[in-house]
């Protein structure tokens, strides 16, 4: 969402040279969240131009409708919002059966208690630290206790803990120390800076 899509081929080449781990693609339907962004053709374009693993963050109502669509488009990881799916257990199992990694995305107002039964079914848990739908928001500090609790749970249920939303370099340092495994970075850390992606990513990884 934060990349320059008018110059997407060069953007992808520069990000690959910077050794980013995953391309994170936000798909929004204007229903589950109050915005629309990144459709199937955008996804297919990025997949065609790059060999970097790709996830898809389905910020959509009834995400099961789109699982096969993004499987065919080359997704490696699919995140769904449990509250947007009538039977999230079935959707997560279908993602895994297709050979992809299932993940759940947890909004700031979503409690661990409401999704704890899903944790053994997923490979990734993505904690939103902003309300989903728009880039450029402020980090919501009240989510940090939830991140700590999930970090304590991740080894038991064998999932990787990811965080998305206003992720600055200082937040990466703070949350890494709490046990977060990976970060979705945008304008707070990576895009629109006066440094190369390679230099920025190297600094963020502590290389």
Residue whose pair of structure tokens reads 């993940």 in the numeric block: 103
* Catalytic-labelled residue, pool 21, 26, 42, 141: 26
181 is catalytic: no
The answer to whether residues 92 and 80 touch, using CB atoms and an 8 Å cutoff, is yes
The rounded distance, in Å, linking the Cα atoms of 140 and 128 is 9
76 is catalytic: no
The answer to whether residues 38 and 1 touch, using CB atoms and an 8 Å cutoff, is yes
The rounded distance, in Å, linking the Cα atoms of 4 and 12 is 10
Q: How many whole angstroms from its chain centre is CA 160?
A: 12
* Catalytic-labelled residue, pool 29, 55, 85, 164: 164
Catalytic annotation, residues? 26, 164
């Amino acid at each position: 969402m934060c990349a320059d899509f008018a110059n997407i081929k060069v953007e992808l080449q520069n990000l690959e040279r910077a050794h980013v781990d995953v391309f994170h693609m936000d798909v929004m339907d204007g229903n589950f969240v109050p915005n629309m962004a990144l459709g199937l053709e955008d996804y297919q374009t990025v997949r065609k131009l790059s060999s970097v693993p790709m996830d898809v963050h389905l910020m959509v109502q009834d995400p099961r409708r789109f699982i096969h669509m993004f499987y065919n488009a080359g997704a490696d990881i699919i995140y769904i919002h449990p509250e947007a799916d009538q039977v999230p257990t079935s959707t997560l199992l279908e993602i895994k059966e297709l050979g992809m990694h299932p993940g759940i995305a947890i909004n700031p107002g979503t409690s661990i208690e409401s999704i704890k039964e899903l944790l053994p079914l997923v490979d990734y848990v993505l904690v939103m630290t902003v309300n989903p739908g728009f880039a450029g928001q402020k980090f919501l500090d009240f989510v940090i206790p939830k991140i700590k609790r999930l970090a304590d749970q991740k080894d038991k249920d064998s999932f990787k803990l990811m965080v998305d939303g206003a992720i600055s370099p200082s937040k990466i340092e703070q949350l890494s120390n709490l046990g977060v495994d990976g970060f979705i970075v945008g304008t707070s850390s990576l895009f629109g800076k006066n440094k190369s992606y390679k230099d920025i990513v190297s600094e963020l990884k502590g290389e």
